[in-house]
Amino acid sequence: MSWIAYGLRGGILTTHYPHGDDAMPPDYRGEIEVVGANREHARRAAASCLSRAIAVENDLHVDVLRCFQCGECARIAPDVFQNRNHFELARLSEAPKTTIDALRERTRAFGRSVHIRHVDAGSDGSEEQELTAIFNPFYDANRLGVFLTASPRHADLLMVSGVVTRPMEEPLRRTYAAMPEPKTVIALGTSACSGGIFIGSQDVVGPVSAVIPVDVLIPGMPPSPLTILHGIWAALGRVLTRSASQ
């Protein structure tokens, strides 16, 4: 009886997102936003950026698909860069057939459930921890009809984490080929989206898009569970989002 009383006092703790609003903690480091135009300070911050995500000349901007949200640029040049306390970071790829309407039509046959096959192509393990978290009692992705599957032949969505290493190139191609049509691919994490700091290494092929077509990009190192839910919802065509170039 004490556990029943405890549950009644606490109420429902599961997030309502994406059917309702939610927010990240105040100190969450999300997307970097350009808030100033001091080129000298911006160059100093760009010199400290390990992923080379900051462009200073011509149009001052941050490539969110390369940024891994370390916050160093905001620390060095707070008058130019700030971390946004925002988690809806997923973007659609630039593929011609990847639009919200096209994704909605493509996934209409899935009905009220969707099965995800996850492939670790060369991750450091952080994306896997956050992906696992979306199935805990707080985020409870199962309530949305989202499930993991071990077989690509049963999968509706393919979610790939990590930069694609050379040993994983062929297994990734085979997994994609084994999926039934229609199939949608999500790149999970900054390394999967752009290659991040690993681009140029002889041991990697590149981002996921260098091996198979990608529809949705979820940047972050790692993305938060709410960011992952936003990306899944975008892949199902159920939420508006930006394109990779925005």
Using pLDDT thresholds of 50, 70 and 90, give the confidence band for residue 246: low
Residue located via tokens 């999500």: 186
Any domain includes 76: yes
Q: What is the CATH number of the domain that holds 37?
A: 3.30.70
- What's the whole-number mean pLDDT along residues 193-200? 90
Is 50 strand, coil or helix? coil
**Same domain for 199 and 95:** yes
Q: What is the CATH number of the domain that holds 108?
A: 3.40.50.12280
**Same domain for 40 and 104:** no
Domain boundary among 23, 49, 83: 83
Q: How many structural domains compose the chain?
A: 2
pLDDT given for residue 241 in this prediction? 64
Structural domain containing residue 54: 32-83
Any domain includes 228: yes
**Same domain for 186 and 136:** yes
pLDDT given for residue 220 in this prediction? 92
**Same domain for 117 and 60:** no
pLDDT given for residue 178 in this prediction? 97
Residue 10 pLDDT more than 60? yes
Any domain includes 187: yes
Count Cα neighbours of 93 within 13 Å in the Cβ-side half-sphere: 25
Any domain includes 115: yes
Using pLDDT thresholds of 50, 70 and 90, give the confidence band for residue 244: low
Number of Cβ within a 10 Å radius of residue 213: 14
pLDDT given for residue 240 in this prediction? 66
Segment 61-117, tens digit of pLDDT: 999 999 988 889 999 999 999 988 889 999 998 876 678 888 888 888 777 889 999
The 10 Å CB-count burial string (b at 16+, else e) for 9-42 is: eeeeeebebbeeeeeeeeeeebbbeeeeeeeebb
Using pLDDT thresholds of 50, 70 and 90, give the confidence band for residue 2: confident
**Same domain for 117 and 97:** yes
Q: What whole-number distance in Å separates Cα of residue 87 and Cα of residue 235?
A: 16
The alpha-helical segments, DSSP class H, found in 64-186 are 72-76, 100-106, 126-133, 166-178
Using pLDDT thresholds of 50, 70 and 90, give the confidence band for residue 200: confident
**Same domain for 95 and 60:** no
Any domain includes 22: no
DSSP of 219-235, one letter per residue?
-SSSPPHHHHHHHHHHH
- What's the whole-number mean pLDDT along residues 140-165? 96
Using pLDDT thresholds of 50, 70 and 90, give the confidence band for residue 238: confident
Any domain includes 155: yes
pLDDT given for residue 104 in this prediction? 85
**Same domain for 168 and 66:** no
Average pLDDT, the chain: 90
Beta bridge partners of 185: 158
**Same domain for 132 and 235:** yes
Residue located via tokens 């041991």: 203
Q: Which two tokens stand for residue 17?
A: 């997102």
**Same domain for 176 and 121:** yes
- Cis, bond preceding 222 (omega within 30 deg of 0): yes
Residues 121, 208 contacting (CB under 8 angstroms):
yes
